[in-house]
A and B are shown apart, each in its own frame.
Chain A
Amino acid sequence: MVQTQKSVPTLTRADLADELHRTIGLSRAESADLVEQVLDTITEALLDGGNVKLSSFGSFMLRKKGLRVGRNPKTGVEVPIQPRTVLTFRPSQLLRQKLND
């Protein structure tokens, strides 16, 4: 049930930098650098093992998954799936609301 609307272009790093440039008036180079800094700071906090909670946007939560037995769907051969950390995003109530206004 994945919905994509082709008419709306995908937002990228370059668009975010452009937005900083236009709305705050920072240079294009600094804007691009700041987009990177924000993403890197979030990434570093997650790599340190902490959750990241951005009020009115959502939370990035780390979940530890234990070892389980998986199966190669093509061959049916059982393979162990090693314990791992997965990242989930829990959208804020506000973000959920905005999508349905």
Chain B
Amino acid sequence: MIRSELVQKIADANPHLGQREAERVVSTILDSITDRLTEGGRVELRGFGAFSTRGRNARTGRNPRTGESVDVDAKRVPHFKPGKELRERLNMD
């Protein structure tokens, strides 16, 4: 499923909203998650999962093509931990 298909499903399930508002619903949710992570916070959605950020130390990397050393700055990367309920449901056969 891609983003436009998610929007379509929300629009179909809520006919009074229409495509444009369904798109706003999806982007408002995703943007709010993104914003909280950029502020250095966490996002906890019980049953679904939690988004957080993790630090990566600066390191010396290598250009795989040329073998040249490059300094890679310390950075933060997003992390998602699936919730217990979702993990369990994915493994029910």
Q: Are B76 and A41 in contact (CB under 8 A)?
A: no
Most chain B C-beta atoms within 10 Å of own C-beta, residue among A20, A50, A54: A54
Q: B3 touches which one: A5, A10, A15, A55 (CB < 8 A)? A: A55
Total A-B pairs, Cβ < 8 A: 150
Contact between B91 and A85, CB atoms less than 8 A apart: yes
Q: Which residues of B contact A95 (CB under 8 A)?
A: 34, 37, 78
Interface residues of chain B: helix, strand, loop or mixed (majority): mixed
- In the complex formed, the residue of B with least CB distance to A15 is B32
A2: Cβ under 8 A from any B Cβ: yes
Asked whether, in the complex, the Cβ of A3 is within 8 Å of the Cβ of B76, the reply is yes
Range, interface on chain A:
35 or more
Tell me, yes or no, whether B58 is within 8 Å of chain A by CB.
no
Contact of B41 among A11, A45, A60, A88 (CB under 8 A): A11
Q: How far is the CB of B25 from chain A (nearest CB, A)?
A: 5
Residue of B14, B45, B53, B55 touching A34 (CB-CB under 8 A): B14
Q: How far is the CB of A24 from chain B (nearest CB, A)?
A: 5
A34-73 CB mask vs B (1 if < 8 Å, else 0) is: 1101110111011100111111111010100000000000
The residues of B with any CB-CB pair to A shorter than 8 Å are 1-3, 6, 9-10, 13-14, 21, 24-26, 28-30, 32-34, 36-49, 51-57, 75-80, 82, 86-87, 89-91
- Sort A-B residue pairs by CB-CB distance and give the 5 closest, nearest first: A89-B80, A8-B41, A5-B40, A45-B1, A91-B78
